[in-house]
Amino acid sequence: MIIFDAGTGGGRCTIIDSNGHQLVSEYREWRYDTPTSRSPYAREFDANLFYNIMADAARTASIKAGVAPEEVAAISATSQREGCVLLDEAGRPIYAGPNMDWRATDEAEYLALTYGDRIYEFSGHWPHAMFPACRLLWFRKNDPELYGRAHRLLMINDWILYCLTGRCCSEPSNAGETMLFDIARKEWRWDFIDELEIPRHLLPPVAEPGTVLGGLTREAADLIGLLPGTPVIVGGADTQMALVGSGTIDDTASCAVSGTSTPVMAPVNHRVLDSKRRTWTGCHVVPGWWVLEGNAKGTGVVYRWFRDEFFGPDVPFGAINELVRRVPAGCDGLMAFLGSGIGQTPGLPFPVGALVGLESSYEKTGATRARIGRSILEAIACAVEGNVRQMTEILGSSRPFHMCGGGTRGGVLPEIVASVHGAPVFVNTVEEATSLGAAIIAAVGVGLHSTLEDAVRAMGPELKRVDPDPNDREVYQGVLERWINTFQALGRL
């Protein structure tokens, strides 16, 4: 299987066989445009450029893996959530924006004040500027010419499949991130769409992940170096795919996907909402299942910022992690509040950034940098645990806890999370859990495995058990409560 993964920081093409073995993964970084004349919070990208970047990654990956075109059983795509592309009637992209496009803050505030509870009930999400519904209203007000030409709204994974097949289709896991989708019925919420006076033709048909969408067009095949007609399978949102790639397909576990942010998801077999509106609820890529979601907010993006600012962007994270490991648990009282957080009731401001308890060392020992680095990882672990507590409260029971994603590499963060959590954490040893999940779904779609359960057994990952350190656990019991209390106090400043 060839999997396209359009993430926040770049595009990836991964080739995975029917036994779940990753043959090669080719990554390309990309950057977004910031059209400040439109809004200081606007972010856009050139859709054609990004598609060509991913096509180049696919060609390179196929060559490196030595895979002949006729050996490719299926192609699928996964992507960052909330990112979307608008097409005109001829199928040309006229706008493409990532989940970081927050231009529609006024529209989000309007929808929250006017429809907030109603939107949460059918979509599982409280209004925020990142959701495509808000962006559509922004374009209607601020760029009516572009809005008038818009014919289709596709999420980024949908758009990739459109480039490969020429067919428009969406699926529940990422359609559920538009704020226009009824997650219980798994269909567009047409009455609300009509009430907002959004044209119905913008929303494409919906199919379940694993559905055969069509065959690869000749134009796409020539560009990528594959055979026309190769089956293209409906994919899904990256976080939910990472759950499948970690074996989290039902209510036997929850999972934290450690990346730019760290969603914490618990699969449920019915729609579960939080009466306090602190969490999200969305559709799983597993038919008949949903996910209850907390989010530790800024996690990997904060640690990367720390690396870039204090060490330099060329310094490997492994070298930094070794310095961080030498700092004792609790960082001698230093706590970081630089973007990691716990789900909050709508209307509460996010806490101001702060380092609390910093005692500067004026000698050039490097110890202060390492302490700050560990305090950031401890903040991530406390935020993850705070979200786990909220979800346990909502569900009424706890679950075994899995982790996957780039933040788990090197092992330092999972060790801290286990000690803060006070129970074992099971870490996915597969480097690209999201791509593996998409490959598992695709393998079932083309009949390589008869059921999803069979595919997970055959292709699923090994999970490494990480136990709490008893001494660190004792320290973190106090640290966790202080961190949560300080987080809440900073929100009142």
pLDDT digits over 152-211, tens only?
Answer: 999 999 999 999 999 999 999 999 999 999 999 999 999 999 999 999 999 999 999 999
**Is 259's pLDDT higher than 90?**
no
Over range 240-268, report the average pLDDT: 94
- Each residue's pLDDT tens digit, 2-40: 999 998 888 999 999 999 999 999 999 888 999 877 789
How much is the pLDDT for 36?
Answer: 79
Task: Indicate whether 88 pLDDT > 60.
Answer: yes
The pLDDT of residue 361 is 61
User: In 3-state terms, what secondary structure has residue 400?
Assistant: coil
How far apart, in Å, are the Cα atoms of 432 and each of 25, 233, 303, 305, 466?
8, 19, 20, 22, 19
Q: How far apart are CA 428 and CA 409, in angstroms?
A: 10
Q: Does 2-238 match 246-429+462-493 in CATH topology?
A: yes
Q: What is the pTM of this model?
A: 0.92
> What percent of the chain clears pLDDT 70, i.e. is strictly above it?
99
Mean pLDDT value of segment 369-373: 92
Q: How far apart are CA 384 and CA 473, in angstroms?
A: 15
pLDDT of residue 2: 97
Q: What is the sign, positive or negative, of the torsion defined by CA atoms of 240, 7, 342, 415?
A: positive
- At 404-442, the pLDDT tens digits run 998 898 889 999 999 999 999 999 988 899 999 999 999
pLDDT in tens, 12-21: 999 999 999 9
Mean model confidence pLDDT for the chain: 94
The answer to whether the CB of 22 falls within 8 A of the CB of 430 is yes
% of the chain with per-residue pLDDT over 90: 89
> Closest by alpha carbon to 96, among 40, 141, 24, 30?
30
Sign of CA dihedral 302, 307, 309, 313: negative
Please tell me the predicted confidence (pLDDT) of residue 371: 92
pLDDT level of residue 360 (50, 70, 90 thresholds): low
The DSSP bridge pattern shows strands 401-404 and 261-268 to be unpaired
Residues 6+ apart with CB under 8 A from 246: 255, 402, 403, 404, 428, 430, 433, 437, 461, 463
Question: Above 70 in pLDDT, residue 365?
Answer: no
Token pair, residue 400, equals 């075994």
Question: Residue 337 carries which DSSP code?
Answer: E
Helix (H, G, I), strand (E, B) or coil at 431: coil
Report the pLDDT value the prediction gives residue 114, as an integer from 0 to 100. 97
What long-range pairs does 47-50 form, CB within 8 A, spacing at least 24?
47/85, 47/93, 47/96, 47/159, 48/93, 50/6, 50/11, 50/96
CATH architecture assignment, domain 246-429+462-493: 2-Layer Sandwich (3.30)
pLDDT band at residue 364 under the 50/70/90 scheme: low
Instruction: Give the residue extent of every domain in the chain.
Output: 2-238, 246-429+462-493
Return the CA Rg of the chain.
22
Mean pLDDT within 314-342 = 93
Cα separation of 376 and 363, whole Å? Answer: 22
Mean pLDDT within 46-67: 94
Between the alpha carbon of residue 138 and those of residues 42, 77, 103, 154, the distances in Å are 11, 28, 8, 17
Judged against a pLDDT cut of 70, whether residue 474 lies above it is answered with yes
Measured distance CA(21)–CA(261) in Å, rounded: 27
Question: What average pLDDT does range 359-377 have in this prediction?
Answer: 79
Query: Quick count: other Cβ atoms within 10 Å of Cβ 99?
Result: 20
* pLDDT of the residue at 212: 97
Compute CA distances 267 → 8, 77, 122, 255, 471, whole Å.
Answer: 24, 21, 18, 9, 32
**Tokens found for residue 411:** 């092992």
pLDDT for position 29: 87
CATH architecture of 2-238: 2-Layer Sandwich (3.30)
User: Average pLDDT in the 41-50 region?
Assistant: 95
Strands 261-268 and 254-257: antiparallel
Instruction: Report how far residue 317's alpha carbon sits from residue 492's, in angstroms, rounded to the nearest whole number.
Output: 34
Strands 280-283 and 261-268: unpaired
Quickly state the pLDDT bin for 363 (edges 50, 70, 90): low
Cα–Cα dist 265/387, whole Å: 10
Pairwise CA distance, residues 447 & 233, whole Å: 11
Secondary structure element (H or E) that encloses residue 323, with its range: helix 317-325
Tens digit of pLDDT for each residue in 92-126? 999 999 999 999 999 999 999 999 999 999 999 99
Tell me which residue has tokens 């004349």: 37
- Helix, strand counts (H, E) of the chain: 16, 20
The answer to whether 404 and 437 have CB atoms below 8 angstroms apart is no
